[in-house]
Amino acid sequence: MSSLPLAVPGRRRRRGIRHTLDVRVSPYAYVAPFFLLFCAFGLFPLVYTAWVSLHEWTLLSDEHTFVGMDNFGTLLADGYFWNATFNTLSIGVLSTVPQLVLAIWLAHLLNRRLRFQTLFRVSLLLPNVTSVVAVVVIFSQLYGRDFGMINWVLSWFGAGAIDWAAGTATSHIALSTMIMWRWTGYNALIFLAAMQAVPRELYEAATIDGASNFTQLRKITVPMIRPTMIFVVIVSTIGAMQIIAEPLLFGASTGVAQGGAANGGPDRQFQTLALFVYEQGFTKFDFGYASAASWLMFLAVVIVAGVNFLITRRVKGGLV
Amino acid sequence: MTPRIRRLAVPLLTASLLVLASAACGSGGGSDTAGSADTAAKPGEKVKLTIGLFGDFGFKPLYEEYKKTHPNVEIVENVTQFNDHHNNLVKRLATNAGAGDIEAVEVGYISTFTAQPAKFQDLKQYGLDKRQGDYLDWKWQQGLSKQGGQVLGLGTDVGGLAMCYRKDLFEKAGLPTDRTEVAALWPTWEQYIETGKKFAAADVAGAKFVDSPGEIFRAMVNQAPAGLYDAQDQIIVDSNPDVKKAWDLSNQLTAEKLTAKLAAFSPPWNTGFAKGSFATIICPAWMTGFIQEQAKDASGKWDIATVPGGSGNSGGSHLMIPKQSKHPKEAAELIDFLTSKENQAKVFKEEGTFPSIPSLYDDPSIQNFTKPFFGDAPIGKIYSEAAKALKPQHLGPKEAEVRVVIGDGLGRVEQGKQTPDQAWAQVLEDVKKIK
């Protein structure tokens, strides 16, 4: 660089500008690809959906009449929408709460010296990389009414054949186990990563003080991994609010959904919000109504995630 | 193993396990390639035709035959599930991308598509209006555009009705097994239910009288002069007494505990075939193909009798060419071939789907056709008689959607969620919402 003719003031100034530009502008150029993609595949659909939701808009007709908030009004009075909201929350709670408790426990078990610990840790992730289609098809067979393995085992204890997919509570339980099967290990690994950052000395000191294993988990581990817990709770909540593949395929592979797999059973007993949106949009082709529903669903996700954030934040952080 | 090798081996082993597992399970997702983005064909140039179906139409041997005379044509068949197939077609027409060169459309959906003539090729351009004389008149009419004028689809099969039954289960229940005697048991649906009660009283282990009320309901509605729609395309579910009667009779099957609660075309229904979970099933001609497919071990156990309540049509399809096809001329030629008189007869003999070409009905090769699987039942004669007696019914644009709503209602009663009256009230509410 020293070979450059430093004595020329004009060129020096220009270099200065280029340098400033480089420092000020380049970072934006580096992050631009993400934002461009986000605008194309995130922001634009969001805004366009809002626009569509204000119209009477079906796939079969090229005319889209502006109807203002009509779709939202109809939606709020639609019992099937509220039914889907209830199902989503019910399946969400039934799957997320046991899942996170189980994940913390598994992570705690693995957070110690074990033979083949990498094998154990990686195998936690196995259910997560399995295709959701395979998981639901297999679970649907396990939960089969006539020839399912679960009913077979239950029959040893004198239970009659349960029609898992037909009942509201039973279908929610069945779907929750599928979700837990896929996501417990994944969350356990995230918890495990956080737990490994907790200083060993704390456990050693607690052991000397005579604290039991469970007390250590409760008094040391959980408070120390609070930020991770907040993250996992929020991500799981958002995931649970968007469940669609499981109920859709469950309806199809148990045959309980008769003609339309998108209705979540003849009584809509396990139709989730996302499935409701799919039914309106892609089997009835009523895009206006489906768009309105997805916006309300978006708001519901924000509200539920926010509430969970506030609750999780109340878990005491740090060591008291 | 030295510690170092072990340190490497364990992650490697697990990683390879992961890859294996994901590869083994990754085949679950279906591919969605129904594109037809070839350029216009010059004579002798390779042409790839995609054909979208919803189940096995028995066309595969015909493709091979066709390729012998048309060596430049490659045929790719895409088969998806019934509802998905038709919903995808709606989407692909709307977005002008992704549809096949030939698409099969079932009668439940035919009016949905003939109402959009701009989205399809007029087969008249390719001279296929010459085929009109071959067809049952009503089958031909169903493939025309709403205003008449354009020929949008050529019929494949019609679904004349019969009733299939398991001879072995009937015997166990002390019922007659000969097909004329069985037919004499149920001239009407009420008598069919009475027979069911006798079957249930015999308490045959692991078997119910019928698979589920859904397809029975459809058959009963199809036997009426008017069904879910009137001639002006208005839904008349609430005012048509025949629909209500079919509803009541279907629910009577449930009330008498005659159904195995196996929804048609679901995986448990398939298992039910293999296990012999039901003794009778409503049998439009195309159903015989399903039974052969699903109940492979039950050869000779099934037989076919006439249907209660008179003749009717259930199902049947048309082949159409979406406007977006790049090779409409070649596609039209293939349709002409697949629906020709000879080939409809061939497909019937293999697959059971019954021709929509009436001159075949008195053809000795059809009349005398029997199938060992069905105890040498004269299925050619049975379905010819059924097809000849058919009175066509007007089908509306949302036929399939209305059927799903009613099917859900029957399902709620079957699963004990609602009384028939509650379910009917909800059905009428839901039908009103169909736009």
Count of domains observed in chain B: 2
Do B72 and B152 fall into the same domain? yes
B425, part of any domain: yes
Is residue B9's pLDDT more than 70? no
| Residue B2 banded pLDDT, cuts 50, 70, 90 | very low
B3, part of any domain: no
Do B150 and B197 fall into the same domain? no
Interchain contact B91–A (C-beta under 8 A): yes
Do B253 and B287 fall into the same domain? yes
Number of Cβ within a 10 Å radius of residue B61: 13
A275: Cβ contacts below 8 Å, ≥ 6 apart? A84, A243, A244, A247, A248, A262, A264
B417, part of any domain: yes
Measured between CA atoms, the residue of chain B closest to residue A255 is B266
Angle CA B261–B267–B268, to nearest 5: 35
Do B246 and B328 fall into the same domain? no
Is residue B37's pLDDT more than 60? no
Interchain contact B425–A (C-beta under 8 A): no
CB contact under 8 A, B269 and A255: yes
Structural tokens at position A35: 């934002």
Is residue B433's pLDDT more than 50? yes
Beta bridge partners of B281: B164
Buried residues in B318-346 as b, exposed as e (16+ CB within 10 A): bbbbbebbbbbebbbbbbbbbbbeebbbb
Structural tokens at position A230: 């907040």
Number of Cβ within a 10 Å radius of residue A301: 18
| Residue B29 banded pLDDT, cuts 50, 70, 90 | very low
B283, part of any domain: yes
What is the reported pLDDT for A113? 80
Which of B19, B27, B87, B250 has the highest number of chain A CBs within 10 A, making it the mutation to test binding with A? B87
Measured between alpha carbons, how far is B220 from B249 in angstroms, rounded to an integer?
9
CA distances from B174 to A90, A222, B204 (A): 49, 68, 10
Buried residues in A219-243 as b, exposed as e (16+ CB within 10 A): bbbbbbbbebbbebbbebbebbbbb
Do B351 and B303 fall into the same domain? no
DSSP assigned state of B144: B
More confident residue, A133 or B14: A133
Buried residues in B82-116 as b, exposed as e (16+ CB within 10 A): bbebbbbbbebbbeeebbbbbbbbbbbbbbbbbeb
Measured between alpha carbons, how far is A53 from A290 in angstroms, rounded to an integer?
7
pLDDT tens, position by position, B389-421:
888 888 898 898 899 999 999 999 999 999 999
When the pLDDT of each residue in chain B is averaged and rounded to a whole number, the result is 88
DSSP assigned state of A1: -
Q: Calculate how close chain B gets to A41, using CA atoms only, in Å.
A: 18
CB contact under 8 A, A147 and B271: yes
Residues of B with Cβ-Cβ distance to A59 under 8 angstroms: 90-91, 94
Where are any strands of DSSP class E within B161-282?
163-166, 208-210, 278-282
Structural tokens at position A2: 């020293």
| Residue B39 banded pLDDT, cuts 50, 70, 90 | very low
Numbered ranges of CATH 1.10.3720.10 in chain A:
70-313
B31, part of any domain: no
DSSP assigned state of A282: I
Do B294 and B426 fall into the same domain? yes
What is the reported pLDDT for B23? 40
Structural tokens at position A23: 């420092």
Strand B102-106, strand B354-355: pairing: unpaired
The SS3 call for residue A176 is helix
Q: Which of B75, B17, B81, B31 is nearest to B55 (CA)?
A: B81
Measured between alpha carbons, how far is B326 from B49 in angstroms, rounded to an integer?
9
Measured between alpha carbons, how far is A90 from A169 in angstroms, rounded to an integer?
9
Do B173 and B210 fall into the same domain? yes
Measured between CA atoms, the residue of chain B closest to residue A279 is B87
Measured between CA atoms, the residue of chain B closest to residue A261 is B83
Q: Which CATH architecture has domain A70-313?
A: Orthogonal Bundle (1.10)
For residue A263, give the nearest of B408, B410, B414 by CB distance: B408
CATH number at residue B177: 3.40.190.10
Is residue B47's pLDDT more than 90? yes
CB contact under 8 A, A267 and B435: no
Measured between alpha carbons, how far is B406 from B151 in angstroms, rounded to an integer?
31
Contact B237, B428 (CB under 8 A): yes
Do B239 and B309 fall into the same domain? yes
Is residue B41's pLDDT more than 90? no
Chain centre distance of CA B175: 30
Which of A149, A258, A278 has the highest number of chain B CBs within 10 A, making it the mutation to test binding with B? A258
For residue B83, give the nearest of A166, A261, A265 by CB distance: A261
Instruction: State the residue range of the domain holding B200.
Output: 160-313+380-433
- HSE-up (13 A, CA, CB side) for residue B196: 27
Do B89 and B222 fall into the same domain? no
B40, part of any domain: no
Is residue B151's pLDDT more than 50? yes
Do B54 and B147 fall into the same domain? yes
Beta bridge partners of B210: B259, B280
What is the reported pLDDT for B400? 87
What is the reported pLDDT for B27? 37
ipTM: 0.82
Q: What is the pLDDT along chain A (320 residues), one digit of tens a residue?
A: 445 555 555 555 667 888 888 888 989 999 999 999 999 999 999 999 999 999 999 887 778 999 999 999 999 999 999 999 999 999 999 999 999 999 999 999 888 888 888 898 889 999 999 999 999 999 999 999 888 999 999 999 988 889 999 999 999 999 999 999 999 999 999 999 999 999 989 999 999 999 998 899 989 999 999 989 999 999 999 999 999 999 999 998 887 766 667 889 999 999 999 999 999 998 888 999 999 999 999 999 999 989 988 888 887 655 54
B36, part of any domain: no
Where are any strands of DSSP class E within B58-152?
73-79, 102-106
Interchain contact B25–A (C-beta under 8 A): yes
What is the reported pLDDT for A313? 82
A201: Cβ contacts below 8 Å, ≥ 6 apart? none
What is the reported pLDDT for B72? 93
Measured between alpha carbons, how far is B245 from B424 in angstroms, rounded to an integer?
12
Contact B179, B304 (CB under 8 A): yes
The SS3 call for residue B418 is coil
Do B123 and B170 fall into the same domain? no
pLDDT tens, position by position, B295-318:
888 888 999 999 999 888 888 999
pLDDT tens, position by position, B251-300:
999 999 999 999 888 888 999 998 999 999 999 999 999 899 888 888 88
Do B113 and B205 fall into the same domain? no
pTM of the model: 0.84
